[in-house]
């Protein structure tokens, strides 16, 4: 069975500081991996995805994530936080054998302090 663990339900950073949001997955076969962002009262917007090509994936709004098979991780980073990055971020996996089903982590709320 697939599962996704996001360490830290709340992360707070200062504007301009590094953003690091953690995601670990459990799967015997590396799945497809995604990061989505959700602003209050809105749906989810795709930030980036890993699909077995380059392990370092660049997404929108300056975010990137690195797939590390040995660590079963797909952490999301951004070098310099902006106030507009405050939102909730979800990591998701999609198994290769059934990529119609996405499994989401419980989310990390990012707070950006001025």
Partner 1 sequence: DTGVSQDPRHKITKRGQNVTFRCDPISEHNRLYWYRQTLGQGPEFLTYFQNEAQLEKSRLLSDRFSAERPKGSFSTLEIQRTEQGDSAMYLCASSLAGDRDGSGNTIYFGEGSWLTVV
Which range of residues in 20-28, 62-70, 73-81, 99-107 is near partner 1 by CB under 8 A? 99-107
Identify whether the C-beta of residue 110 lies closer than 8 Å to the C-beta of residue 21.
yes
Asked if 45 is part of the footprint of partner 1 (rule: CB under 8 A), the reply reads yes
**Residues of this chain, 24-43, that bind partner 1 according to CB under 8 A:** 32, 34, 36, 41-43
Candidates 104, 101, 86; CA nearest to 35 is: 104
Angle in degrees, CA 113, 10, 94, rounded to 5:
125
Cα distance between residue 81 and residue 110, in whole Å: 10
Considering Cα of 73, then 7, then 20, then 103, what sign does the dihedral take?
Answer: positive
Shortest reach from residue 103's CB to partner 1, in Å: 8
Shortest reach from residue 15's CB to partner 1, in Å: 26
The residue from 53, 69, 83, 97 that contacts partner 1 (CB under 8 A) is: 53
Asked if 69 is part of the footprint of partner 1 (rule: CB under 8 A), the reply reads no
Strands (E), 15-83: 19-21, 24-26, 32-38, 44-50, 56-58, 64-68, 73-78
Shortest reach from residue 96's CB to partner 1, in Å: 8
Contacting residues toward partner 1, per CB under 8 A: 4, 9, 32, 34, 36, 41-46, 49, 51, 53, 90, 92, 94, 96, 99-107
């Amino acid at each position: 069975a697939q599962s996704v663990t996001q360490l830290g339900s709340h992360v707070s950073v200062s504007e301009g500081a590094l953003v690091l949001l953690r995601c670990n997955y459990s799967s015997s076969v590396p799945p497809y991996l995604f990061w989505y962002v959700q602003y209050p009262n809105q749906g989810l917007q795709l930030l980036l995805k890993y699909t077995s090509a380059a392990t370092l994936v660049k997404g929108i709004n300056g975010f990137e994530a690195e797939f590390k098979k040995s660590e079963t991780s797909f952490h999301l980073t951004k070098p310099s936080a902006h106030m507009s990055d405050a939102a909730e971020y979800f990591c998701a996996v999609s198994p290769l054998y059934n990529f119609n089903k996405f499994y989401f982590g419980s989310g990390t709320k990012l707070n950006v302090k001025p």
